[in-house]
Structure 1
Amino acid sequence: MPIRPSVETWNRGELEDKFYRQYDQLIAVKKRNNELEKKLKLSSSRIRQALESGNASETDERNLELERENRLLAQKLKALRHQLIAYTRPQAHNTTLNFLTSRSTGRPRSGVPAESGRPQGPDEHQQSQVPHDGIPPISHGNNIQRPIIDERHVQIISPNHHIIEPPLPPTEEKQQIIKLYRENREKDGEIDELNSRLSKNEEKLETLRIEYDKIIQELENSNLRVHQLQRTINQKPQESTDLLEKELTLLKQENKVIKAANDRFVHK
């Protein structure tokens, strides 16, 4: 006769308490799973808004525009420096002016007339006295003098027919240089500010990505725990049923033994 296990090893109340504890734990895990899903949706919407807004592309375009303006301002500043150097060095400026005027009028810089092998006639001599600019010289006796021209109103024309702008006064040039320096400094400040904002946005996006990965990992872990709990809960009724069947078989065997003993006692 097999020995029946003691009644203390199986208690319906304990099994019910354990089942209810597992059920409460399952409900808590489901609540936690719902909360994590809500957080995941919020973080996904934030990341989607950050990607769709295009703040990074707008910031890059703004940076490129500011860099182009910075290069233009640097070129203007370089041109003003050249003008300032030309203004502060009058000898070099006068040499340039003389060179340009000699090329524009077509006269050689040397005052010695060209000599030829034949003598010049009176008509040829008069024609040679007329300059190329069409203004006849003024003669005082034997001395030929050219008309006095006010150089302040003369515009110098270069060989490529571009008009050279007269230099600005030193005060205005200094003011323009100071203004350009100030604008350049402001643009540099704007570029630094935009770069800092871009770096902050990149850091925020990186933190959102990290949070998103963490939430996904927690969600996967919670789903795994839910499946494990469901598996254990599904296994518990089967185990209790198996235990009851074993107990029933033991009772049947004990009943048979008692019945056989009773029959033997009756026959005696």
Structure 2
Amino acid sequence: METVIELMSPQPICVTFDTPLHACAVKMRRHHLRHLPMTNGDGRVIGVVRDLDVFRRGVLAGSSGELWMPFHDADIDLEAGDVAEQPRVVVRPEDDLAGTLRAKLSTSQDYAVVVDEDGHPMGMLTEHDALRMAQALDGPAAPWLSEDPEGISADEQVADAWERMIVQGRRHLLILDKGRLAGVISLRDLSVGMGAFGREAPVGQIWRGERVHTLRPGQTCGEAAAVMVAERVGCLPLTDEAGFPTAILTRTDLIRALVEHLDRNDGVL
């Protein structure tokens, strides 16, 4: 049986209740993190700060990329404790991996916190971690596709695209040119772009024409996961022969496939 410790990212970087939001943003940017466990005076986990909750309130800008620019004056003095959420999946290192991933999928949270017997943080189990294991899946990716992917025009303002992502809980939007797939932009791209170009800049000013990684017909889940891991992308659109997007495969879709495989094989990959 696969266990949590085999997949978790150990020694998480943590914050406390009174850590300034600016410091949270810098930690996330420097270490490429989406989640920061929040601990109390005894070192026990009491919450988690997500990148969504940080960067919906401001962006990092300046030549160093570490100048905090809040969107509203009321958010200038915010601290980690003001934005942290309660983790719904808290597990031990020896817990069953399939059960942990299944529990995570049943929530709106994309992580599980791993603690010791006293509640001290030992690691984080995220979708990025699960994706590494999903590379071993040999079943077809097609059954796990999400249809009707969300798209935007390159002329749309960054602030509007940002708001759409936040409201809909999305981390990626397809950039369309006359309905055809032109690119993919992430929430992190938008947060960086707002700091550099402002909220009213067009999406096309942030997206610089990088190569679009797509799902090929007939690809397996493992092959798709390998592309996501190697290219550090969170989704693979599927297009028809004319270049119009018809579906999309996300990290979450692949984790569902991984859980289904573990369930069918008594928790063994």
* TM-score bucket (shorter structure): under 0.3
Structure richer in strand, relative to its length: 2
Larger relative contact order (CA 8 Å, sep ≥ 6):
1
Structure richer in helix, relative to its length: 1
TM-score under structure 1 normalisation?
Answer: 0.13
TM-score under structure 2 normalisation?
Answer: 0.13
